[in-house]
Structure 1
């Protein structure tokens, strides 16, 4: 896996909207990025709107393509997620990007880009806060993003007692992202093998039955059979039905992997939460789960 060059003060970064519109409300993010010593180029899509999107498919493709190809741009932030990246992914040309990889940052709908870039190009990306989410971000989340971009130590440990983990150790490339997006790109050019990988999943606003259905889809596609580990992030603003589904989301997840032996870590602070701790997608990690304690160690060659 190729690791893009880490940033340094004076580097130029771009902000674009490959998915839903934002209409330019990123003042805090601009201030913070400039405080980090970065020069920020704001794409045309940040102030554009076409229905629910940050401009037409053509404009969003053009804006992201420009940022990917510009040698002066050292990192590309998706301004927000929402929906729309899948509509442009097949129109993007990654040939220049592949020769000179740069950091791509985002989460949620941006899972399309994470997965596509990993599987087609073998380049690491960052699952972390986007400019729109800077306003609601914890200090810890932004600090983790800064460390990831500037080459700081990314190893992370935490404890949680809300739901029992499944203890164990596993080593592999970190993949995944938003569960709904992962399910939606199955068998597409953006999909890839999960075998021997550590899978991270998160989601927001889903019904319990739909989480169950999406996980059954992954399971029946044999995506969960040979994982090295499973990390479960935030599953927030969930909706139940009437009558209730009858299981917590953690139970729904654990049911799908009960016959396998790899570690399962619940409560990882990443996803649609204030403390959206940055993950280096595509990097090789060691996952260690011991009762309530989970640690993630990044392996550098």
Structure 2
């Protein structure tokens, strides 16, 4: 199914709904194989995110989920994203290390979990190699990744970890192989730049996520089940904001629709000018971990002043983990200062990143952001 951006903001009241909400719902075609998502226009509404208004929004969301998209054209002119086939029991996946060397025991723990899902697991030749802070030389890491892209028996490529180094090979991936045989690439953090490059060159939809362990390496059930659903089931993804996440304080008002593009903020800035896709009409996802506030300030200043955020229609803010205040300024203060100038809806508190029980989301899929309902919904 072809879906895309509506192209402009509108402000259309719905009588009796207590605010401004998407229009033109169409009944689901139960005879088609289209996933059950809805058509919408990007809208603004000015409604508190608590109390009766929020309850109304939640009930409206239940109704919205019974509708599907009608075809609308993508104002960015980009091709529709390539959604790889879902995995089935018996499919083979491969762990590769395009960035830093992983902990062997953690990789084996994740492999055992995938095998419990009925998948076959193997490892890239250089998965545990060590070369300074990298898992082997650029050529070794690139060879493993491209071999997995080219191997028809491999149905998903899973990064063992992030760290450093994916940016060194992101422009040398075998994009033709990715176009010829689309398969999920799974990873986040440093791996974000591989998602950017694969989307920029061949519109391959990837998965921002991993079997990421918190609390001493323990992988939460919520984390593992989120990734399993994305890999093996065709259903919409609904991510609810968590009030306990610090970035929930950034939530503003309004709704937006667009392709979900983004990931780790450090990689967004690193990719700008060569690997970062055009963000015009996109909902930008960002998360980060253990950076100095000055680094975040420099990154966001460069992205804004360099025009890289021009045309972004909404911001989905994930987990900003292990940030310390500086002279009374917090990471929330800094993010609000930069993101507020974009004048687009912002939804914070999303459990995406390096924090507690992070979830997985598809990068490149169409998404709808609703600040009143405090939900990000992604079409599958």
Alignment TM-score, normalising by the size of structure 2: 0.74
Deviations 1:217-249 (A, max 9, x none): 1111223342111011111112444xx2x3221
Which residue of the partner structure matches residue 231 of structure 1? 316
Which residue of the partner structure matches residue 25 of structure 2? none
Structure 1 CA distance for aligned equivalents of residues 301 and 148 of structure 2:
37
Deviations 1:256-281 (A, max 9, x none): 23244321111110101231110100
2:188 pairs, out of 104, 107, 120, with 107
Counting strand residues as a fraction of each chain, which structure ranks higher?
Answer: 1
Residue 131 of structure 1 deviates from its aligned partner by 6.7
Residue 160 of structure 1 deviates from its aligned partner by 1.8
Which residue of the partner structure matches residue 363 of structure 2? 281
Deviations 1:25-74 (A, max 9, x none): 22211110000000001112222111221112111111111111000100
- Equivalent position SS for 2:371: strand
Structure 2 CA distance for aligned equivalents of residues 260 and 67 of structure 1:
39
Structure 2 CA distance for aligned equivalents of residues 171 and 93 of structure 1:
31
Residue 298 of structure 1 deviates from its aligned partner by 2.1
1:38 pairs, out of 119, 143, 158, with 119
Structure 1 CA distance for aligned equivalents of residues 303 and 339 of structure 2:
11
Are the counterparts in 2 of residues 78 and 130 from structure 1 also a CA contact under 8 Å? no
Q: Which shows bigger deviation, 249-258 or 136-145? A: 249-258
- Alignment RMSD (CA, Å): 1.8
Deviations 1:67-119 (A, max 9, x none): 11000100000000000111122332221121110000000000110100111
Deviations 1:118-167 (A, max 9, x none): 11111100000147779333210111100000124312323426515101
Q: After TM superposition, what 4+ stretches of structure 1 lie above 3 angstroms from structure 2?
A: 130-136
Structure of higher CA gyration radius: 2
1:129 pairs, out of 210, 217, 220, with 210
1:199 pairs, out of 253, 265, 284, with 284
Are the counterparts in 2 of residues 250 and 266 from structure 1 also a CA contact under 8 Å? no
Q: Does 1:82 align with 2:163?
A: yes
Structure 2 CA distance for aligned equivalents of residues 164 and 273 of structure 1:
17
Q: Does 1:11 align with 2:91?
A: yes
Inter-CA distance 130–50: structure 2 relative to 1 (3 Å threshold): farther
Are the counterparts in 2 of residues 165 and 265 from structure 1 also a CA contact under 8 Å? yes
Q: Does 1:269 align with 2:351?
A: yes
Structure 2 CA distance for aligned equivalents of residues 24 and 299 of structure 1:
35
Structure 1 CA distance for aligned equivalents of residues 332 and 166 of structure 2:
28
Which residue of the partner structure matches residue 156 of structure 1? 239
Are the counterparts in 2 of residues 194 and 226 from structure 1 also a CA contact under 8 Å? yes
Which residue of the partner structure matches residue 270 of structure 2? 184
Alignment TM-score, normalising by the size of structure 1: 0.92
Deviations 1:1-24 (A, max 9, x none): 110000010000000000001252
Inter-CA distance 131–49: structure 2 relative to 1 (3 Å threshold): farther
Which residue of the partner structure matches residue 173 of structure 2? 92
Q: Which shows bigger deviation, 104-113 or 160-169? A: 160-169
Deviations 1:197-225 (A, max 9, x none): 00010111101121111111111122334
Q: Does 1:210 align with 2:292?
A: no
Structure 2 CA distance for aligned equivalents of residues 193 and 221 of structure 1:
13
Unaligned runs of 5+ in 2: 1-80
Structure 2 CA distance for aligned equivalents of residues 72 and 282 of structure 1:
24
